[in-house]
């Protein structure tokens, strides 16, 4: 068995967790902040049998792949002083550590 | 040395932590949510010498074993519209990953 | 690659994270409470190549080493009933687990 520690963007976490639950992957979500990814992030701790590791990694890759997104910033001052226009930002990405589990116990 | 990542129910976490502290196990509590266990859960990170691993697992098993509990739900509407009666729910359970620690440093 | 789980005092976490970011160590901060260190603490998850492990450990040791600090407690009752005087407390310390990473994936 492997323990997968995946740091993903908060933005992607909800959809990823939903997908992994559908596919019956056991996971727990740790609150986390800053670091590996620029904006707010979430660390998922996922227990997985060796034979499903590639499937898991493919899902993470698919759901979290870096991509461009058009966002319109909110005006920072009085509305007439500054007219915001849409900008392209890069979102997504994931940092994934795969650890070997020496022993697994379910109570 | 081993690093034990134990996901337990919030309900059981307080008593388990108290017991482990009494027995001088070093631990840290990570905020966590959802996943391996149905309701709110807590992840404990516990450093343990090989010779105390079985003792640790026995404590987790004892404090967190799945059990039935009688709960009386709160009425969801006006008191006269619905009289709640006690129901049996399953509580407890733990998911435990044991990882080998390559090196341990205490500053 | 190694995954370093470092439990440090909240007090030291900010300066440590700043230093590690300067030095381009990838890290994520997990919310944590109680346990290995007496007061509030923070768990950092740091991915590191073998060749930079000693550098990382030296930084943690430097930034978190236990030390005495003079603090003046706030008066607990009416100001004229109790005049607080400065006391020396021990702060700092870190508990560090180094785990081997079987595989590392960056999406
Ligand atoms: Ni295995
Ligand atoms: Ni060992
Ligand atoms: Ni390596």
pLDDT digits 0-9 by tens, B63-104: 999 999 888 776 666 656 666 788 888 889 999 999 999 999
Mean confidence (pLDDT) of chain A: 87
Top mean pLDDT of A28-32, A71-75, B30-34 is at A28-32
Average pLDDT over every residue of C2-29? 94
- C106: in domain: no
CATH number at residue A70: 3.30.70.120
- B86: in domain: no
Chains that touch A (3 or more CB pairs under 8 A): B, C
Each residue's pLDDT tens digit, C98-107: 999 999 999 9
C-alpha–C-alpha distance, residues A1 and A106, integer Å: 13
Pairing state between β B103-106 and C94-100 = antiparallel
Smallest Cα distance from A90 to chain C, Å:
13
Secondary structure class of C84 (helix, strand, coil): coil
Please report residues of A whose CB lies closer than 8 A to that of C31.
30-33
Q: In the block, which residue shows the tokens 């009386």?
A: B72
- A107: in domain: no
Burial bucket for residue A98 (CB in 10 Å: 0-12, 13-18, 19+): buried
- B71: in domain: no
- B85: in domain: no
With residue C15 as reference, give the H or E element that holds it.
Answer: helix C10-22
- A96: in domain: yes
With residue C11 as reference, give the H or E element that holds it.
Answer: helix C10-22
Closest residue of chain A to B62, computed from CA coordinates: A107
Which residue range(s) make up the domain with B6? 2-66+92-100
Average pLDDT over every residue of C44-70? 96
Average pLDDT over every residue of C25-46? 79
Q: In the block, which residue shows the tokens 């840290």?
A: B28
pLDDT higher than threshold 90 for residue A80: no
Average pLDDT over every residue of B17-45? 83
Confidence at residue C82, expressed as pLDDT on a 0 to 100 scale: 64
Please report residues of A whose CB lies closer than 8 A to that of C14.
none
Average pLDDT over every residue of C43-49? 96
Please report residues of B whose CB lies closer than 8 A to that of C63.
none
Closest ligand to the CA of C99: 3
C99 vs B27, B31, B102: nearest CB: B102
* Cα-trace Rg, chain B: 18
Ligand 1 center to A77 CA (angstroms): 56
| Contacts across the A-C interface (CB distance below 8 Å) | 75
- C107: in domain: no
Two tokens, residue A33: 């902040």
Confidence at residue A90, expressed as pLDDT on a 0 to 100 scale: 84
The yes/no answer to whether this complex scores an ipTM above 0.95 is no
Name the more confident of C66 and C36: C66
- A28: in domain: yes
Confidence at residue B83, expressed as pLDDT on a 0 to 100 scale: 66
Closest ligand to the CA of C51: 3
Mean confidence (pLDDT) of chain C: 87
Band of residue B31 on the pLDDT scale cut at 50, 70, 90 = confident
Confidence at residue A35, expressed as pLDDT on a 0 to 100 scale: 56
Residue A107 to residue B64, Cβ atoms within 8 A: yes
What's the domain count of chain C? 1
Band of residue C94 on the pLDDT scale cut at 50, 70, 90 = very high
Confidence at residue C41, expressed as pLDDT on a 0 to 100 scale: 87
Ligand 2 center to B100 CA (angstroms): 6
Percent of chain C with pLDDT over 70: 83
Each residue's pLDDT tens digit, A37-70: 556 889 999 999 999 999 999 999 999 999 998 8
């Amino acid at each position: 068995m492997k323990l997968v520690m995946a740091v993903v963007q908060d933005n992607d976490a909800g959809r990823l967790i939903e997908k992994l639950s559908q596919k019956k992957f056991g996971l727990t979500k740790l609150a986390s902040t800053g670091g590996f990814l620029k904006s707010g992030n979430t660390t998922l701790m996922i227990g997985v049998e060796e034979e499903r590791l590639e499937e898991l990694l493919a899902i993470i890759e698919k759901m979290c792949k870096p991509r461009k997104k058009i966002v319109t910033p909110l005006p920072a001052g009085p509305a007439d002083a500054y007219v915001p226009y849409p900008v392209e930002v890069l979102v997504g990405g994931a940092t994934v550590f795969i650890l070997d589990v020496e022993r697994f116990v379910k109570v």
